[in-house]
Structure 1
Amino acid sequence: MSERLDVWPALVHDDLAPMVDYVNRVVQVAGKYTLDAPFEAGWGNIVLEVTPRGLSTPTFRQRGTAFRVHYRLLDGDVVIETDSETRTLPLTGQSVASFFSAFCAAVSDLGIRRPRTSLICEIPGAPATFEDDRAVRTWDAPAARLMWEAMSRAADGLEAWQAPFLGHRPRVGVMWGGFDLSATRHRALHTAPPPHGPPFMQNAQLNAYVSVGFSFDNTKMNNAPVPPIGMYAYIWPQPEGLEGRSYGVEGADWYPQAGLMLLPWDSLRRLPDPRQAIVKFGDAVYQAAVETAGWPADVFVPRADGWYVSRTPASALEQQEA
Structure 2
Amino acid sequence: MKNQIQLPSLPYKENVQKKMTLHLFLQIIGKIRLKMTPRKNHWWYITEYVETRGFTTGPIPYNSGADQFDIAINVQDHQLEVKTSQGDFEHFPLNDKLTVADFYKNLKEILNKLNIAVSIVDKPFDLNIDKPFSKITEYHHYDKKYTKDLWRSMLWIGNVFKEFSGRFYGKSCPVQLYWHSFDLVVTRFNGNEAPPMPAEARLSDKDAYSHECISFGFWAGDENVPEPAFYSYTYPSPEGIDKEEISPKSAEWIESNGSPMALLKYEALLKSENPRKDLLDFLESTYQAGAKKANWDIEKFRVPELEKL
In structure 2, the partner of 1:10 is 9
Q: Are the equivalent residues in 2 in contact too, given 1:195–1:202 (CA < 8 A)?
A: no
Aligned length: 300
In structure 1, the partner of 2:301 is 299
In 2, the alpha carbon distance for the partners of 1:260 and 1:82 equals: 41
| SS class of match (1:100) | helix
The 3 A distance-change label for structure 1 pair 310 and 30 is farther
In 1, the alpha carbon distance for the partners of 2:46 and 2:274 equals: 30
Q: CA RMSD in A?
A: 2.0
Equivalent AA in structure 2 for residue 277 of structure 1: D
Relative to total residues, which structure has the larger helix share, 1 or 2?
1
2:84 corresponds to 1:82: yes
Q: Where in structure 2 are there 5+ consecutive unaligned residues?
A: none
2:135 corresponds to 1:132: yes
98-107 or 165-174, which deviates more: 165-174
Aligned match for 1:203, one of 197, 207, 212? 207
The 3 A distance-change label for structure 1 pair 194 and 272 is farther
In 2, the alpha carbon distance for the partners of 1:285 and 1:72 equals: 34
CA deviation vs aligned residue, 1:248-276 (integer Å, no higher than 9, x gap): 21211111256320000111222222122
In structure 2, the partner of 1:249 is 248
Q: Where in structure 1 are there 5+ consecutive unaligned residues?
A: 304-308, 313-322
2:231 corresponds to 1:232: yes
Once the 2 structures are TM-superposed, how far is the Cα of residue 107 of structure 1 from its aligned partner?
0.8
Q: Name the TM-score, length of structure 1 as normaliser.
A: 0.86
In 2, the alpha carbon distance for the partners of 1:248 and 1:136 equals: 38
Structure-to-structure mapping, 1:62-73, within 5 angstroms: 62-63=62-63, 64-73=66-75
Structure-to-structure mapping, 1:1-322, within 5 angstroms: 2-4=2-4, 7-35=6-34, 36-63=36-63, 64-83=66-85, 84-92=87-95, 93-123=97-127, 125-135=128-138, 137-191=140-194, 192-217=196-221, 219=222, 223=224, 226=225, 228-257=227-256, 259-297=260-298, 298-302=300-304, 309=306, 311=308
| SS class of match (2:120) | coil
| SS class of match (1:114) | coil
| SS class of match (2:45) | helix
In 1, the alpha carbon distance for the partners of 2:206 and 2:2 equals: 41
| SS class of match (1:235) | strand
Identical pairs, percent:
22
Q: Are the equivalent residues in 2 in contact too, given 1:54–1:70 (CA < 8 A)?
A: yes
Equivalent AA in structure 2 for residue 285 of structure 1: T
Once the 2 structures are TM-superposed, how far is the Cα of residue 39 of structure 1 from its aligned partner?
3.1
CA deviation vs aligned residue, 1:74-110 (integer Å, no higher than 9, x gap): 3321110012211002222121111111111101111
Q: Name the TM-score, length of structure 2 as normaliser.
A: 0.90
| SS class of match (1:311) | coil
31-40 or 41-50, which deviates more: 31-40
Q: Are the equivalent residues in 2 in contact too, given 1:156–1:275 (CA < 8 A)?
A: no
Q: Are the equivalent residues in 2 in contact too, given 1:74–1:141 (CA < 8 A)?
A: no
Q: Are the equivalent residues in 2 in contact too, given 1:29–1:115 (CA < 8 A)?
A: no
Equivalent AA in structure 1 for residue 62 of structure 2: Q
Equivalent AA in structure 2 for residue 300 of structure 1: R
Q: Are the equivalent residues in 2 in contact too, given 1:24–1:176 (CA < 8 A)?
A: yes
| SS class of match (1:7) | coil
In 1, the alpha carbon distance for the partners of 2:43 and 2:285 equals: 24
Q: Are the equivalent residues in 2 in contact too, given 1:50–1:174 (CA < 8 A)?
A: yes
Q: Are the equivalent residues in 2 in contact too, given 1:127–1:133 (CA < 8 A)?
A: no
The 3 A distance-change label for structure 1 pair 136 and 232 is closer
Q: Are the equivalent residues in 2 in contact too, given 1:30–1:115 (CA < 8 A)?
A: no
